[in-house]
Chain A
Amino acid sequence: MPDSELVVGVIEGRIDFAELRRRFEHVVFGGIFRLVKNRPDAEELTQRVFVRVFEWLGRFDPRRASFRTWLYEITTSIVMDYFRARKRAPESLDAMAETQLPTVAGPAEHFEARRKRTELARALRRLSPIERGSFFGFRVRHLPWKMVAAELGCTERAAQYHCEVALRKLRRWL
Chain B
Amino acid sequence: MRGKLESTTVPEKNDRELDVFAEFAEAERDGKNPDIEEYLGRVPESAARLRPSLQAVVEVGALIRKLEAVYSAEELARLLDPSRRPKRR
**Chains A and B form a bound pair:** yes
- What residues of chain A have their CB less than 8 Å away from a CB belonging to chain B? 64-66, 69, 105, 109-110, 113, 116-117, 120-122, 124-125, 129-130, 132-133, 136, 138-142, 145, 152-155, 157-158, 160-164, 167-168, 170-171, 174
Shortest A141–chain B CB gap in Å is 5
- Which of the residues B10, B71, B82 comes within 8 Å of A158, measured between beta carbons? B10
What are the residues of chain B within 8 A of A133 when measuring CB–CB? 82
For the complex with contacts A116-B63, A174-B63, 6 further pairs of A-B residues with Cβ separation under 8 Å are A69-B72, A157-B15, A157-B18, A164-B13, A164-B18, A168-B52
Shortest A60–chain B CB gap in Å is 13
The residue in chain A whose Cβ has the minimal distance to the Cβ of B11 is A161
Q: Does B53 contact A (CB under 8 A)?
A: yes
5 closest residue pairs by CB, A with B: A171-B56, A167-B56, A113-B70, A161-B10, A160-B22
- Which of the residues A110, A125, A170 comes within 8 Å of B70, measured between beta carbons? A110
Would A121 and B86 be within 8 Å (CB), given that A64-B75, A154-B6 are in contact? yes
Would A174 and B60 be within 8 Å (CB), given that A121-B86, A157-B10 are in contact? yes
B2–A153 touching, CB < 8 Å: yes
Shortest B66–chain A CB gap in Å is 7
What are the residues of chain B within 8 A of A132 when measuring CB–CB? 82
Interface residues of B in 41-89 (CB under 8 A from A): 52-53, 55-57, 59-61, 63-64, 66-67, 69-82, 86
What are the residues of chain B within 8 A of A164 when measuring CB–CB? 13, 18, 21, 25, 53, 56
What are the residues of chain B within 8 A of A121 when measuring CB–CB? 79-80, 86
What are the residues of chain B within 8 A of A153 when measuring CB–CB? 2, 5-6
